[in-house]
Structure formats: structure tokens, C-alpha cells
Amino acid sequence: MQANATQQHGPVSHTPEELRLKNSAARLSVIAAAFLIVLKTATGLYTGSISVWASLLDSAMDIFASTINFFAVRAASRPPDDDHHYGHGKAESLAGLFQSLVITLSGCFLIYEAAKRLLSPRPTGHEWLGVATMFVAASISIMLVRKLRSVARSTDSPALSADAVHYASDVYTNAAALAALLVVALTGWHAADPLASIAISAYILWSAVGVARDSIDVLMDRRLPPEVDKGVAEIVGRFRAEGVLGFHDLRTRRSGSFKFIDLHLEVERDLSLVEAHDVTVRVLRSIEAEIPRSKVQIHTDPS
């Protein structure tokens, strides 16, 4: 066999069920965020609590992020075209990076406002009403996080994973606002409110860094975790009895929900073209079957 044989994956696409789950989860997160904004706006107006306003701003960022994710998921699900041979999966990571920048700005603003409140204290009111509404808000956020994590895990969606992170932070911000109002109601210590707001803001900034790091890794084509390399090596090793000697030039990356794997498969030189082709196809199909959402390209090299 004089020339190399190349086998590559088929079109990068999502199943109809995956698209339905991702779009449904993205839509649900927008609806939930809208409800939480209305609830927290009313609570903030009645109580005058800056920790509630901090939690409200977090929810405002959530609906902003969820809206972006809704369109990003739709864009990422588009099949490859003449200008995007690998599909549009990175639209999800672009959305995640943009969200992290907006979240960082909002977190810095909250810290500034809370510091002003510490220097110029303002009393709150209707604290028990705030405690009740924050409890409701936290409960809704918990249920939504469970749903988003479940769908993100089953579809391997970066955008929905980022959404789940946002609403997980919403759980903590709601709990912090609830705790602050409870302390004020029971003890009259009003400094608890801006201190809770600063804690909420710090958590928002920390979560934004994580989302940004993950998005940049995908956009910069960072290699997949070492476990993927080990999995490929283990699968290729099963075919030694069929003339496969090993592999080299393994390259991996991620785009949206898909993992792209590219390698050179070393086969015995005395294999016929048909035999080399058949074993290459079996290796490719085994990798795609055992590494979820992997799209594999193999160059067959006689050795």
C-alpha cells in the first residue's frame, strides 16, 4: 500500500431529541429568570435591602445570559456549511465568554454599592416579607439548577453548563440575602445587609472566572482531558491482532457539545488496502461508540 488511507467522521449534528431538550431547557431558564426578577424587584422596593438588590442584579444577569444561551444553542446546532466545516459549536463558548465579562462588571458594581452602604448605613424594612420571598426564589433556583445540569450532562452542552453555574450562584445569592434579612429582623444589625451583598458579589466574580476559563479553553482548542488519550490508546490496543501497530500525532479538541479526535493509525505494511481500510473503520467506530459525542478522523499509515 503506497498511499495513506483516511477515514473521517460524518456530519456534525445533534439528534432531534437533544435539540428539543437543549431548547426546552434554555427556554425554561429564561422564563424562570424573568419570574425571579419580578419577585425580587418587588421585594427590593418593599425592604430596601441592598443584598436583595444584589440578588436581583444576579437574576438580571441570569436572564441576560439565558437569552444569549437560547440563541447560542440554536446557532451551535446548525449543521456544517461551506464556511464552517466543523459546525458552529463554538457559538456556545463565545456566549459563555461574553456572559463572564458582563457578570464581572456587575459584580464590581455591587461591591462598590455595598461599600457605600457600609459607609452610609440605611435601615431596611419588612424583613420577614423579604425572608419569605427569598426562600421562594431559592427554591425555584434549586429546581432549575437540577434541570439544567441534567440536560447539560445528557447533551454535553457548554452553554447549558454555564447556565447551570449562573443559577447555582443564584441559589447562594438568594440564601445570602435571606440570611442577611433574617439577621436584621432578629438582631437589628443593619450592617449584615451590605456585608452579605459584598459576599454575593465576590461569589459572582469567582463564578465568572470559571466560566471565562472554560470558554477560552474551547475557543483556543485546548486538548481534551488525558482520560480521552488513554481511552483512545486502550481502544487502538485491542486491534493489534488485526495488524494495528499503534498510533501517533493524536490531536483532540472540543467545539460545542462535540469532541474532535484526529490521529494517525499505524498498520502492518503487508496489509492489503481493503484490510487496512476495514480495520481503520472498525477502530474509528469503536472510538466514536465509547467516547460520547466524539467525531473521529483517522489517517492510516503503513509502518
Question: What is the average per-residue pLDDT within 286-296?
Answer: 90
SS3 86: coil
What was the pLDDT predicted at 1? 42
Is the Cβ–Cβ distance between 44 and 58 less than 8 Å? Answer: no
Residues 254 and 260 sit within 8 Å (Cβ to Cβ)? yes
Confidence of residue 6 (pLDDT cuts 50, 70, 90): low
- Residue spans per domain, the chain: 16-219, 224-302
* CA pair distance 45, 53, nearest whole angstrom: 9
Q: Is the pLDDT of residue 80 over 90?
A: no
Torsion of CA 79, 81, 86, 87, to 10 degrees: -30
Determine the pLDDT at residue 267. 94
- Cell numbers for 19: 435539540
Q: What is the mean pLDDT of residues 256-271?
A: 89
Element (H, E) at 263: strand 258-267
> What is the pLDDT at residue 3?
42
Which has the minimum average pLDDT: 10-19, 148-157, 225-234?
A: 10-19
Residues in a beta bridge with 246: 266
Contact 25, 147 (CB under 8 A): yes
Quick one: CA dihedral 162, 167, 168, 169, positive or negative?
positive
pLDDT band at residue 58, thresholds of 50, 70 and 90?
confident
Of the pLDDT bands very low, low, confident and very high (cuts 50, 70, 90), residue 5 is very low
Per-range mean pLDDT, top range of 51-55, 89-93, 197-201, 284-288? 284-288
5-8 and 244-255 strand pairing:
unpaired
Q: Which residues have CB under 8 Å from 196's CB, separation 6+?
A: 51, 54, 176, 177, 179, 180
C-alpha distances in Å from residue 181, one per residue of 27, 133, 137, 198, 199: 31, 11, 14, 14, 14
Residues 101-146 have pLDDT tens digits of: 877 887 788 788 788 878 877 777 778 888 898 899 889 889 888 8
Distance (Å, rounded) from C-alpha 92 to C-alpha 41?
30
In the numeric block, which cell numbers belong to residue 251?
490531536
Indicate if the pLDDT at residue 270 is higher than 70.
yes
**Low-confidence winner among 24-33, 70-79, 237-246, 273-282 (lowest mean pLDDT):** 70-79
In this prediction, residue 118 carries a pLDDT of 82
The CATH fold of domain 16-219: Alpha-lytic protease prodomain-like (1.20.1510)
- Of 282 and 161, the one with more pLDDT: 282
Q: Label residue 4 by pLDDT band (50, 70, 90).
A: very low
Q: Does residue 166 contact residue 99 with C-beta atoms inside 8 Å?
A: yes
**Cα separation values, 91 from 31, 81, 157, 218, 251, Å:** 22, 15, 11, 10, 21
- Report the C-alpha gap between 107 and 93 in whole angstroms: 21
Q: Fold for domain 224-302?
A: Alpha-Beta Plaits (3.30.70)
Is pLDDT of 49 > 60?
A: yes
